[in-house]
Chains A and B, each alone.
Chain A
Amino acid sequence: MTTSEYASERETTEGRVFTVTGGDWDSVTANIDPLSNEKIVVNMGPQHPSTHGVLRLVLELEGETVTECRPVVGYLHTGIEKNLEYRNWTQGVTFVTRMDYLANMSNETAYCLAVEKLLGIEDQITDRATTIRVLFMELQRIASHLVWLATTGMELGAISMMLYGFREREYILDIFEETSGLRMNNGYIRPGGLAQDLPESAVRKIRDFLKYLPKKLKEYEAMLSGQVIWQQRTQGVAVLDVTGCLSLGITGPVLRSAGLPWDLRKTMPYCGYENYEFDVPTATTGDVWGRYLVRMAEIRESLKIVEQALDRLKPGPIWIADKKIAWPSQLALGLDGLGNSLEHVAKIMGQSMESLIHHFKLVTEGFRVPAGQVYVAVEHPRGELGVHAVSDGGTHPYRVHYREPSFVNLQAIPAMAEGALLADVIAGGASLDPVMGGCDR
């Protein structure tokens, strides 16, 4: 019996327990007597590079075959939903943007659509604001899919893909920074409008990006699609058919990879998606390979939408005309970040007492939202993102619940993993694209 420095072992009442920390699988298997101990329970996570954050999988193995898989979540629970109840409706954006940190524009838009539906002002949101929302949600989808490609590439051994994916995503984060002052967690989309207008420089950057990315996508497909290792690691792995998806509530690219073209942008349009021309890519294989094809095609469709959104972007107001809801100050991006514009400060401090009172009331107290409840869903990069918002008629949310696609989709891991090989658990889990910040909220 050997004790490796990477795989220390101790006896417990449950049997022998190994603590494995490195590339030392051999030293574990060497110590297992194949006749008497054929079952190994592996506790994978919560700190495992392949679990996209702090996800823990308890796997029961027979040889290399997984016989039981139990996902454990909650390590990143931050109580965002509870916190929202102690802030006013506008402040909520700052919280929800931090849930799924790879798709914050979708989180913010879904929240704002819910608040606007509660207020009954959906029709008063300006065209420019809606178009910029669509533009940014699609850029965000591209960024999220690029991170998926990067991390999945890394997990399946294509390390160079990781570097390329994150590099391309940085272009999109630059565009967000140019517009909102922040790369991530923007807090940019607000109930009633947007924090700031889209500057001309950002439009130029988006135009450049539209020319740049398609070339790169071709390169990545040339690198991965024909790769035998990539094919063998993905084709026929972690299959989930439409029936399985629907009963487990799986939506998004995973559902579409099984062949059902269910995309809320097409089937239950919001933000004027019915006016854009794009396709809903599907695959029929229902495996990791199909999800890869669907996501690559979705990046291209999103590029199409971004281009159309840029073309229909007309100058105009970004805030709702109703001054009792619209943010009172004109925000401007200064050297030290986003803040009140100098003209606005001059006006409220020097010229108009009423403006000052109005500003103070709306910023500290917020607007009242009539009592009631709504459920609004948008197509998030990972599936249906639903917001159930309840108001008691006050200035704070009474309850906001996020139906997070990462949370719901993770339920599919046992269905994909059980009966498959240990290595395929990684591929299957990665193909769900879970983001634990969204899952645990």
Chain B
Amino acid sequence: MSIQPGTEGSVPAGAELGAPAQTPPSPDKGMFGVQGTGDVSGFGRLVRPRPAVFDSPRPYGGYFDDVYDALEEAYPAISEAIEKVVVDRAELTLHVRAEHIVDVCQVMRDDASLRFELCSSVDAVDYLGSDERRFHVAYQLTSMTYRRRVRLEVAVADGVPVPSVTRVYPTADWQEREIYDMFGVVFPGHPNLTRILMPDDWEGHPQRKDYPLGGVPVEYKGAEIPPPDQRRVYQ
């Protein structure tokens, strides 16, 4: 796995600082993150397997089966909408195709046996380098009636829009704006998709993995301490 900085056309602000765009990804091979030394210990040949995300088999356990069955009943197009079901660490994640997300949310909110009244959180993760569709938008839904939580996840490539769920969950308004601001994912159907945390004229989307952290060296008692993204990393 390697990170390719600046694959986008425009250079993000701060990119000319020469800082590495990200702390190097956790190494797949060797230990201590050390490369290019005359390693005679044999540690350098250790290979760390990268876990893949698998479809979880039925039964999922707990209330997860009930949720899936209820969704299947209420939303017949489920086989097209849901790409993958993952149960991990006692949490259910439904990977939903982008074009179905609004309909799935609507059913999740309104169906009597689902009733996910509250959309707790909407945020995004940038899986640059490990997934073709690098941006994963995650919706954490909460059912107050049944006291359940489910995560919906939508994966899109750079430049591919995700329909806005503000029509179903108005609370997603500012959170989608934050995702647009930080990652550059566009949400068609959003009433006012503008930057929210960064200034309006900011260039680039700061929480993308190919956007540098930036920072300046600090002098302390005569010694110069480099900015956090240029320090030595042990990993």
Q: Given A392-B26, A395-B26, are A120 and B171 also a contact pair (CB < 8 Å)?
A: no
Residue of B nearest to A365 (CB): B234
A235 to B234, CA, bound (A): 58
Per-residue contact bits, chain A 394-423, to B (CB 8 Å; 1 contact, 0 not): 111011010100011011000000000000
B50 at the interface (CB under 8 A from A): yes
| Binding-face segment, B39-47, B66-74, B75-83, B112-120 | B112-120
Question: Which among B22, B130, B198, B234 has the greatest number of chain A C-beta atoms within 10 A?
Answer: B234
A375 at the interface (CB under 8 A from B): yes
Of A81, A368, A384, the residue contacting B207 (CB under 8 A) is A81
A247 to B207, CA, bound (A): 27
What's the least CB distance linking B90 to chain A, in Å?
8
B196 at the interface (CB under 8 A from A): yes
Whether B120 pairs with A403 at a CB distance below 8 angstroms is yes
Q: Given A86-B213, A403-B123, are A394 and B89 also a contact pair (CB < 8 Å)?
A: no
What's the least CB distance linking A305 to chain B, in Å?
21
List residues of chain A with CB under 8 Å of any chain B CB. Answer: 73-74, 77, 79, 81-83, 85-87, 117-118, 120, 246-251, 260, 262, 267-268, 361, 364-366, 368, 370-375, 377, 384, 386, 388, 390, 392-396, 398-399, 401, 403, 407-408, 410-411, 440-441
What's the least CB distance linking B14 to chain A, in Å?
11
Q: What residues of chain A lie closer than 8 Å to B147, measured between beta carbons?
A: 267-268
A407 to B23, CA, bound (A): 29
Residue of A nearest to B211 (CB): A82
Of B121, B142, B206, the residue contacting A82 (CB under 8 A) is B206
B 198-235 contacts with A by CB, 8 A = 198-199, 206-207, 213, 228-229, 234-235
Of A73, A267, A373, A394, the residue contacting B25 (CB under 8 A) is A394
Residue of A nearest to B234 (CB): A365
Q: Given A77-B197, A408-B175, A440-B197, are A401 and B228 also a contact pair (CB < 8 Å)?
A: no
B 119-133 contacts with A by CB, 8 A = 119-121, 123, 125-126, 130
What's the least CB distance linking A80 to chain B, in Å?
11
Q: Given A83-B228, A87-B228, are A371 and B119 also a contact pair (CB < 8 Å)?
A: no
Q: Which 4 pairs across A and B sit closest by C-beta, in order of nearness?
A: A249-B171, A394-B26, A403-B121, A365-B234
A118 to B91, CA, bound (A): 11
What's the least CB distance linking A388 to chain B, in Å?
6
Whether A118 pairs with B89 at a CB distance below 8 angstroms is yes
| 19 residue pairs from A and B, CB less than 8 Å apart | A82-B213, A83-B228, A120-B89, A246-B118, A246-B144, A249-B119, A267-B144, A372-B88, A373-B88, A373-B125, A375-B121, A375-B151, A388-B121, A392-B130, A393-B50, A394-B26, A399-B126, A401-B123, A408-B175
Q: What residues of chain A lie closer than 8 Å to B25, measured between beta carbons?
A: 392, 394
Of A77, A250, A390, the residue contacting B125 (CB under 8 A) is A390
B60 at the interface (CB under 8 A from A): no
Q: Given A79-B206, A393-B50, A394-B25, are A377 and B228 also a contact pair (CB < 8 Å)?
A: no
Question: Which among A117, A396, A401 has the greatest number of chain B C-beta atoms within 10 A?
Answer: A401
B57 at the interface (CB under 8 A from A): no
Whether B23 pairs with A399 at a CB distance below 8 angstroms is no
Whether A388 pairs with B51 at a CB distance below 8 angstroms is no
Whether A117 pairs with B89 at a CB distance below 8 angstroms is yes
What's the least CB distance linking B225 to chain A, in Å?
14
B173 at the interface (CB under 8 A from A): yes
B140 at the interface (CB under 8 A from A): yes
Whether B26 pairs with A247 at a CB distance below 8 angstroms is no
Residue of B nearest to A247 (CB): B170
Q: Given A393-B48, A408-B175, are A82 and B125 also a contact pair (CB < 8 Å)?
A: no
Q: Given A267-B144, A392-B26, are A407 and B228 also a contact pair (CB < 8 Å)?
A: no
A368 to B234, CA, bound (A): 11
B95 at the interface (CB under 8 A from A): no
Q: What residues of chain A lie closer than 8 Å to B50, measured between beta carbons?
A: 371, 393
Q: What residues of chain A lie closer than 8 Å to B199, measured between beta carbons?
A: 74
Whether B91 pairs with A73 at a CB distance below 8 angstroms is no
Q: Given A249-B169, A384-B120, are A86 and B125 also a contact pair (CB < 8 Å)?
A: no
Q: Given A375-B149, A392-B25, A395-B235, are A249 and B51 also a contact pair (CB < 8 Å)?
A: no
Of B26, B120, B171, B197, the residue contacting A74 (CB under 8 A) is B197
Q: Given A249-B119, A392-B26, A393-B26, are A82 and B171 also a contact pair (CB < 8 Å)?
A: no
What's the least CB distance linking B21 to chain A, in Å?
11
Whether A377 pairs with B207 at a CB distance below 8 angstroms is no
Whether B196 pairs with A73 at a CB distance below 8 angstroms is yes
Whether B197 pairs with A85 at a CB distance below 8 angstroms is no
What's the least CB distance linking B113 to chain A, in Å?
18
Q: What residues of chain B lie closer than 8 Å to A375, measured between beta carbons?
A: 91, 120-121, 138, 140, 149, 151
Of B91, B195, B206, the residue contacting A374 (CB under 8 A) is B91
A203 to B121, CA, bound (A): 37
Whether B207 pairs with A82 at a CB distance below 8 angstroms is yes
What's the least CB distance linking B217 to chain A, in Å?
15
What's the least CB distance linking B139 to chain A, in Å?
10
Q: Given A375-B91, A396-B235, are A403 and B140 also a contact pair (CB < 8 Å)?
A: yes
What's the least CB distance linking A405 to chain B, in Å?
10
Q: What residues of chain B lie closer than 8 Å to A246, measured between beta carbons?
A: 117-118, 144
Whether B235 pairs with A394 at a CB distance below 8 angstroms is yes
Q: What residues of chain B lie closer than 8 Å to A366, measured between beta carbons?
A: 235
Q: What residues of chain A lie closer than 8 Å to B234, measured between beta carbons?
A: 361, 364-365, 395
Of A74, A370, A386, A410, the residue contacting B121 (CB under 8 A) is A386
Whether A85 pairs with B22 at a CB distance below 8 angstroms is yes
Residue of B nearest to A384 (CB): B120
Residue of B nearest to A408 (CB): B171
Residue of A nearest to B130 (CB): A392
Question: Which among B32, B120, B149 has the greatest number of chain A C-beta atoms within 10 A?
Answer: B120
Residue of A nearest to B208 (CB): A82
Q: What residues of chain A lie closer than 8 Å to B169, measured between beta carbons?
A: 247, 249
What's the least CB distance linking B207 to chain A, in Å?
5
Of A74, A120, A370, the residue contacting B198 (CB under 8 A) is A74
A86 to B88, CA, bound (A): 25
